[in-house]
Amino acid sequence: MKKRTRVAHPPEVAVPPGNRPLIAPIYQSVKFTFDDVEETRKLWRGGRDGYWYSRLTNPTLRQLELTLADLQDRDACLLTASGVSAIAMPLLTLPKAGDHVVYFAEMYQPTRSLIRRVLGRFGVTSTMLSIEDLDGLGRLFESQPTRLFVFESPTNPVLKVADLERITALAQRHGVLTLLDNTLAGLHNHGGYAIDVFVHSLTKYASGHGDAMGGAILARRELIESMRADAGYLGRRSTRTRHS
């Protein structure tokens, strides 16, 4: 092998059996490989565990997904590149044209714009209410079939706290999916409420050091799997793995 080729194919240095790093190493490899093509095909068919391409997933992302799902008391997690993309993923994958989405005015501005401007272009209708108007929310659910209710607690930037007990009861009674941006509360809060989908910007409570960007979606497995299927076309998804 020529020396300049060797630079791209350095000698493999395996950690010997029974010996391991105390802290999990961060995988920066984009691609993962197998000894033969049949094993790659098996992975694509969901017939074996493994990794293929880091936009889809890698051991570092997988470890974070398992940790965050556990902290938020949900079955599964899908990581995204930012908090905004964690919000965009369920908004773009759960409702379809003709569905109705309800949200509170007291919420992160890009979320409101995404619902009103972007989903509106694709034929999703929406209604905005005040976080104080839970009687109005009940009347709206009563009068108009609603696919998704989107809210935050505490809210950014005005720090209002939503009545989660009452909101989840109303949503369950009317068969409405709930999406809570739980960024400001943290992953250790609100897991006991009947929230269908949590989203987090990982730059805030989860990280807090201003040195890493990321987002997380946490929900029961079937909802995460339905989002994974579309998320591949939106820039990030995790491949199906046996331990997912």
- Applying CB under 6 A, the residues found at the interface with ligand PLP are 82-84, 108, 152, 156, 181, 183-184, 201, 203-204, 213, 215
Count of beta carbons in the 10 Å neighbourhood of residue 242: 9
Closest distance to ligand PLP from the beta carbon of 193 (Å): 17
E-state strands within 41-132: 76-80, 100-104, 125-129
Residue least distant from ligand PLP (Cβ): 83
Closest distance to ligand PLP from the beta carbon of 152 (Å): 6
> Quick one: 183 or 238, whose CB is closer to ligand PLP?
183
Mapped onto helix, strand or coil, the DSSP state of residue 221 is helix
d(CA 40, CA 50): 9
Count of beta carbons in the 10 Å neighbourhood of residue 46: 11
> Quick one: 84 or 169, whose CB is closer to ligand PLP?
84
Closest distance to ligand PLP from the beta carbon of 58 (Å): 20
> Quick one: 43 or 89, whose CB is closer to ligand PLP?
89
Question: CB-based burial of residue 3 (10 Å sphere; 0-12 exposed, 13-18 middle, 19+ buried)?
Answer: exposed
d(CA 120, CA 244): 33
Q: Cβ distance 122 to 115 under 8 Å?
A: no
> Quick one: 137 or 217, whose CB is closer to ligand PLP?
217
Closest distance to ligand PLP from the beta carbon of 31 (Å): 27
d(CA 54, CA 61): 8
> Quick one: 140 or 184, whose CB is closer to ligand PLP?
184
Closest distance to ligand PLP from the beta carbon of 84 (Å): 4
